[in-house]
């Protein structure tokens, strides 16, 4: 597969600081939790390199990006260097002034705010008391001032029975065109708090069925790249492929093809260390403003090894031995796999359909997919 000459997007942990400590945060207590923040001047210099490389987009996350007092200066650097940006936020620190600034740049693709409940209890259970009302206030401020917004709902044990209420709040009461969902993955703080946070098999069954039903009710306005909704669709695809009712093409099946992030983008930790992805923060590829980004992109052995991951057949793993889904599976996220097995080149156990079924799981009603 051909490689782009330069990365198209860069995901930046613009800060290591956050005003919340969500119980399932993937950042804290992962390799991404990397000490102090770089000064704005370092980021501004880095953005000049990104401009020379024709990088078009920067995603700022953290930590909580709006905690940085110099965020406007940093965004100014993105704008000057001909890029667009998006910000992933908990929503609690957004002000009218900041929203107006974001609009004025004309370069903000969106601000994603995390809303995990329809009522304070289900949101605040993992994010801290008072965070629900502040997050909603932040979302409404952005919308009122004309900033494009996205909402991500992370599904966990305390909100899995509130999904109907969440959909109503976001799609009917607030009037979002859509929202995204995922679930707390076993990375960072979530791993430590797994018993409190992660969905049980019964919870997953409930979440898959509920989300499919709500997606039907709301004309497809709920989406997912990971988590129960994505799993319900992906696992049904595998089931139908196994039964000869469907052909699955891209990505190639039966190999570790679950993620192609590192063919399109790179990530940078808050300490300036370049990594393949925020989910693979332990793989250090270099440092901004010290190492040439193009050289890292094209020649770094660890990165190229990740790109060759797609050539590794699942039949190589004892974990997959005898699995009737093997030829229809992609092995899913390497970051999750690393967190759970200590190996990047391994299928993720958390995304395994056979394991889910063996633990008493069942796929939702097929009719809900139509």
State the CB neighbour count (10 A cutoff) for residue 269. 24
* x/- letters, 2..31, toward another protein (CB under 8 A): x-xxx-x-----------------------
Binds another protein (CB under 8 A): choice among 109, 137, 182, 327: 109
Q: Which is nearer to another protein, 147 or 206 (CB)?
A: 147
From the list 21-29, 104-112, 182-190, 249-257, the region that binds another protein by CB under 8 A is 104-112
137 binds another protein (CB under 8 A): no
Tokens linked to 108: 């903000």
54 binds another protein (CB under 8 A): yes
60 binds another protein (CB under 8 A): no
From the list 80-88, 129-137, 252-260, 325-333, the region that binds another protein by CB under 8 A is 80-88
Rounded Cα gap, residues 231 and 208, in angstroms: 8
Binds another protein (CB under 8 A): choice among 21, 48, 82, 366: 82
CB of 52 to another protein, least distance (A): 10
48 binds another protein (CB under 8 A): no
The angle at the Cα of 259, spanning 370 to 32, to the nearest 5 degrees, equals 120
Nearest to 16 by CA among 87, 51, 67: 67
Q: Which is nearer to another protein, 80 or 246 (CB)?
A: 80
Q: Which is nearer to another protein, 33 or 57 (CB)?
A: 57
Cis peptide preceding 63, ω within 30 of 0 = yes
Binds another protein (CB under 8 A): choice among 83, 125, 187, 222: 83
106 binds another protein (CB under 8 A): yes
From the list 101-109, 170-178, 237-245, 358-366, the region that binds another protein by CB under 8 A is 101-109
CB of 369 to another protein, least distance (A): 32
Rounded Cα gap, residues 91 and 111, in angstroms: 9
Q: Which is nearer to another protein, 56 or 345 (CB)?
A: 56
CB of 32 to another protein, least distance (A): 27
For another protein (CB under 8 A), the number of binding residues is: 15
CB of 199 to another protein, least distance (A): 35
Rounded Cα gap, residues 60 and 33, in angstroms: 15
Q: Which is nearer to another protein, 54 or 119 (CB)?
A: 54
Sheet containing 57-61: which strands, arranged edge to edge? 222-224, 179-183, 149-155, 108-114, 84-89, 57-61, 9-13, 265-268, 273-275, 286-287
Binds another protein (CB under 8 A): choice among 17, 45, 72, 84: 84
Q: Which is nearer to another protein, 4 or 194 (CB)?
A: 4
CB of 51 to another protein, least distance (A): 8
| CB neighbour list of residue 273: distance below 8 Å, 6 or more residues apart | 34, 284, 285, 286, 287
Binding site for another protein (CB under 8 A): 2, 4-6, 8, 51, 54, 56, 79, 82-84, 106-107, 109
């Amino acid at each position: 597969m051909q490689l782009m000459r330069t990365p198209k997007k860069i995901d930046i942990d613009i800060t290591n600081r956050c005003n919340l400590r969500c119980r399932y945060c993937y950042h804290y207590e992962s390799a991404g939790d990397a000490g102090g923040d770089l000064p704005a001047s370092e980021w501004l210099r880095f953005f000049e390199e990104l401009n020379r490389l024709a990088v078009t987009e920067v995603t700022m996350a953290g930590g909580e990006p709006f905690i940085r007092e110099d965020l406007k200066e940093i965004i100014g650097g993105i704008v000057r260097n001909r890029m667009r940006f998006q910000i992933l936020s908990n929503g609690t620190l957004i002000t009218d002034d900041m929203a107006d600034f974001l609009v004025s740049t004309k370069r903000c693709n969106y601000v994603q705010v995390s809303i995990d409940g329809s009522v304070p209890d289900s949101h605040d259970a993992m994010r801290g008391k008072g965070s629900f009302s502040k997050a909603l206030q932040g979302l409404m401020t952005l919308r009122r001032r004309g900033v494009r917004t996205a909402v991500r709902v992370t599904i966990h044990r305390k909100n899995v029975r509130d999904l109907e209420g969440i959909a109503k709040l976001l799609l009917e009461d607030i009037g979002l065109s859509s929202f995204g969902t995922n679930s707390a993955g076993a990375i960072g703080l979530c791993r430590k708090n797994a018993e409190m946070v992660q969905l049980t098999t019964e919870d997953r069954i409930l979440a898959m069925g509920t989300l499919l039903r709500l997606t039907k009710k709301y004309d497809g306005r709920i989406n997912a790249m990971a988590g129960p909704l994505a799993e319900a669709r992906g696992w049904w695809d595998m089931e139908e492929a196994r039964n000869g009712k469907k052909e699955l093409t891209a990505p190639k099946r039966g190999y570790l093809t679950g993620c192609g992030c590192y063919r399109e983008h790179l990530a940078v930790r808050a300490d300036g260390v370049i990594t393949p992805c925020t989910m693979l923060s332990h793989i250090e590829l270099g440092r901004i403003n010290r190492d040439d980004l193009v050289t890292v992109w094209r020649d770094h052995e660890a990165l190229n090894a990740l790109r060759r991951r797609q050539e590794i057949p699942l039949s190589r793993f004892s974990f997959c031995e005898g699995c009737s889904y093997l030829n229809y599976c992609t092995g899913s996220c390497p970051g999750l796999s690393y967190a759970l097995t200590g190996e990047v080149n391994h299928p993720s156990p958390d995304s395994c359909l056979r394991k889910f079924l063996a633990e008493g799981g069942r796929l939702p009603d097929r009719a809900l997919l139509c």
